[in-house]
Amino acid sequence: LNGLDIKGVKRERLNNVLNDIQKEKSTIRDKVNIATKLFSSIINDEHVANEFPESLAKSMSVHNDASKGPWKITLQPHIFEPFMQYCPDRSLRWNTWQARNQRCSGYGRKDLENSTNIENLRSLRMEQAKALGYDTFVDMSMETKMAGSIDNVLNVLDSLLVNARPMQDVELDSLQKFAAERGFENKLEHWDIPYWQRKQKWSLYNFDENKIREYFPLLKVTNSLFNLCSALFKVQIVERSDTRTWHKDVKFYDIYDDSSNRPIASFYFDPYARQDEKIRVYDDAGWHVSIRNKSSVAGTQPLSALIFNFQAPLEGQQSLLSFKE
């Protein structure tokens, strides 16, 4: 897949294609980040904010005071996701949902529109695949995937659809009835479901995500995770306090095994969301960045960064994670 057997002009063209692919991917990410940061909307009505948990109200308050508005809606994940669950105003939920789903589309700023970049990326990937002897980029990608072929992928998706869709329909019907019994007169749309799902869980199971958070303080979760890694892989994860980082909340860890007194790898741990600095592009809570690979020639060990968007701790309290986080 590296095209080591390709020489001459074809090798030069493949290198240019690979560079252009990275540029297009970077451009797409940058545009999404900018579009995410651009949107904001202000809530002045305190009745709307009454249902917000304290952590959300504080994050949204322009005065950093949960009880004092106005409250600012943004598309940052630590605000967007709980806002969609707790906002009682349907028009505000719709406006925010639309803003998020129309990022980088033809409905917004033309300089942030991404469809051209995506088509360029598709074309470049096809050229890369052809140069390496594959019919399509999908065929090339499957070489390194457990699925093995696109047919296997489609068969799994079709099987999931057949088995999961009927239960999804039952759950949506149940949620529609639950909302109707409480005065909701419309058909449930995408921007309604998180709000009514939260209410239904509370009604049926007395389930409150914020109560669940109390069982998962970040320090306890990370210590437990490190202990699990130590037991499974026979390593020790040790914080190093004398390393400079890009923010006061960022920690640095070394990983040791029994073979040496020197670290076999290291990583940065950056846990908290920060306004205008870190934006989660996808629906996961964080991502991994490979900074340096292991090299016996250069004598270097692997170095990575784990970047998350967890809610920063409130005064005198620990950062509490949701079960999903």
Asked whether 142 and 150 are in contact (CB, 8 A), the reply is: yes
Work out the end-to-end distance of the chain between its first and last CA atoms, rounded to an integer number of angstroms: 35
pLDDT at 281: 45
Asked whether 34 and 112 are in contact (CB, 8 A), the reply is: yes
pLDDT at 114: 95
Nearest Cα to Cα of residue 225 among 302, 321, 82, 317? 321
Do the domain assignments include residue 4?
A: no
Q: What is the mean pLDDT of residues 273-294?
A: 71
Do the domain assignments include residue 91?
A: yes
How far is Cα 314 from Cα 65, in angstroms, rounded to an integer? 11
Q: What percent of the chain has pLDDT over 90?
A: 71
Do the domain assignments include residue 86?
A: yes
Do the domain assignments include residue 65?
A: yes
Tokens of 223: 């210590």
Tokens of 111: 């300089």
Last residue of a domain, one of 101, 131, 149: 101
SS3 236: strand
Tokens of 232: 């499974």
Q: Which residues pair with 286 in a beta bridge?
A: 308
Tokens of 184: 């909701």
Residue with tokens 């129309």: 102
Q: What is the mean pLDDT of the chain?
A: 91
Q: Is the pLDDT of residue 26 over 60?
A: yes
Tens of pLDDT, residue by residue over 258-280, are 888 899 999 999 998 876 666 54
How far is Cα 304 from Cα 287, in angstroms, rounded to an integer? 11
pLDDT at 311: 81
Q: What is the CATH number of the domain that holds 260?
A: 3.40.390.10
Do the domain assignments include residue 28?
A: no
pLDDT at 282: 42
How far is Cα 80 from Cα 305, in angstroms, rounded to an integer? 25
Last residue of a domain, one of 83, 101, 119: 101
* Total count of residues recorded for the chain: 325
Do the domain assignments include residue 187?
A: no
pLDDT at 2: 75
Q: What percent of the chain has pLDDT over 70?
A: 97
Last residue of a domain, one of 80, 101, 122: 101
Tokens of 162: 């057949």
Q: What is the mean pLDDT of residues 248-263?
A: 92
Q: Give the number of domains in the chain.
A: 2
Confidence of residue 46 (pLDDT cuts 50, 70, 90): very high
Do the domain assignments include residue 298?
A: yes
Residue with tokens 């996808």: 282
Domain residues for 303?
218-310
Q: What is the mean pLDDT of residues 271-297?
A: 74
Top-ranked range on mean pLDDT: pick from 97-101, 143-147, 320-324: 97-101
Do the domain assignments include residue 264?
A: yes
